[in-house]
Structure 1
Amino acid sequence: MENSIDNQITHITSRPVARPQLAGRAFNLLFVFIVLALWPDLASGQTTNTVTGPQAAKKGPADTFTGTVWVTSLVPNDSIFTTISGSVAFEKSARSHWHSHPAGQILIVTDGIGYHQIKGEPRQVIRKGDVVKCPPNVVHWHGASPNSKMTHLYIIPNTEKGIVKWLLAVTDAEYNQK
C-alpha cells in the first residue's frame, strides 16, 4: 500500500506542467499588445519613453468630492491613446459629486464596498471585483459606503470628446437614500 501511494505521488509530481507554455503565450500576447499600442509612434518614426513610475496620490478637491478622497493618475491623457486611467481611494462615506463623461467611464472596484448611482435610478452596492460601465453623458456618482473604504480604478476612453463634466454635490439625503 505504501509503495502505491509513493508511486501516485511520483506520478503527480513528475507530470509535465503546462505553465511554461501558458507563460510563453501570455508573453507573446503581451508583446503583440505593446507593439500594437506603440504602432503610431513606430510608424511615424517617433519613439518615446512610455515607462512611468508611480505617481503620488493627490487629495481630491472639495469642489468635486465630499469627504476624503485620494486620486492617483496612472495613464495621463495624450493624443495617441486618447484614454486616461487612474485610481481613486475613498475614505468611509466619501463620494464624488454628480458628474458625467462624454465618452463614458469604466470602473473596476479593487478594494472595499461602495455605492454607484445613475441619476433617477436606485443606488447600487459595488464591491471588490465589480466592474461598472457608466454610459456616455449619463449623470452618476460613486463613493464608499459608511462602513467601508472603497478603491476603484477608472478608465475614460475617447478623451478627444471630453473627460468629465462636474455637477452638484451628492447631498446626504441622496447618499443615504436606498
Structure 2
Amino acid sequence: MANFLSGDTYLTNLVTSPDEKIGIGSVSFEPGSRNNWHIHHDGYQILLVTAGEGWYQEEGQPAQSLSKGDTIVTRDGVKHWHGAKKDSWFEHIAITAGTPEWLEPVSAADYDALV
C-alpha cells in the first residue's frame, strides 16, 4: 500500500466479514500524510473518524474538514482521497467493500492550498 500514499500511514486490519466481501480496518495518518486518489469498484467505503483532524475530497468537490465523530460514505465508483491535516494526526475506521483502483497522488499544490 506504500505506493499509494504520501507520507506515513499505518493500517491495522480489524476484521473481515464471513463472506470476505467487507474489510474493516483502523488507519492512522501522520500529520500531512494522505492516500492517493482512488475509486472503490463494485462496493463502497464508510469512514468513521476516531481521532485527530483530516480531509476528505471527492473529485470536482471542495475538500471537507473532518474531526472525531464525523462519518463519510463514499459510493461505488466515486473518485476520492482522504488524509491528515498538515498539523494533526488523523485516524479513522474504514469499512470497505469492493475492489480499490489506486490512481495519481493528490498534488502537493492542491494539498498545500487547503486551510
TM-score (norm 1): 0.60
Aligned-residue offset at 1:77? 6.0
Report what 1:142 is aligned to.
Answer: 82
| Structure with greater helix share of residues | 1
- Structure with higher Rg: it is 1
Quick one: distance in 2 between partners of 1:124 and 1:146? Answer: 14
Q: How does 1:46-125 map to 2 (within 5 A)?
A: 60-61=1-2, 63-76=3-16, 80-102=19-41, 103-125=43-65
Could you list the runs of 5+ residues in structure 2 that have no partner in the other structure?
none
| Identity level (%) | 37
Q: Deviations over 1:35-55 (max 9, x none)?
A: xxxxxxxxxxxxxxxxxxxxx
CA RMSD for the aligned pairs? 1.4
Q: For residues 97 and 75 of structure 1, what CA distance do their matches in structure 2 show?
A: 24
Q: In structure 1, what residue type is equivalent to 2:76?
A: P
Matched to 1:133, the amino acid is: V
- Structure showing greater relative contact order (alpha-carbon pairs closer than 8 Å, 6 or more residues apart): 2
How many pairs does the alignment contain?
A: 113
Scaled by the length of structure 2, what TM-score is found?
Answer: 0.92
How many Å apart are 1:76 and its aligned residue?
Answer: 3.2
Which position in structure 1 is the counterpart of 2:104?
168
Cα deviation for residue 75 of structure 1 reads 1.4
Task: Select the structure that is richer in strand.
Answer: 2
Which 4+ residue blocks in structure 1 deviate beyond 6 angstroms?
Answer: none
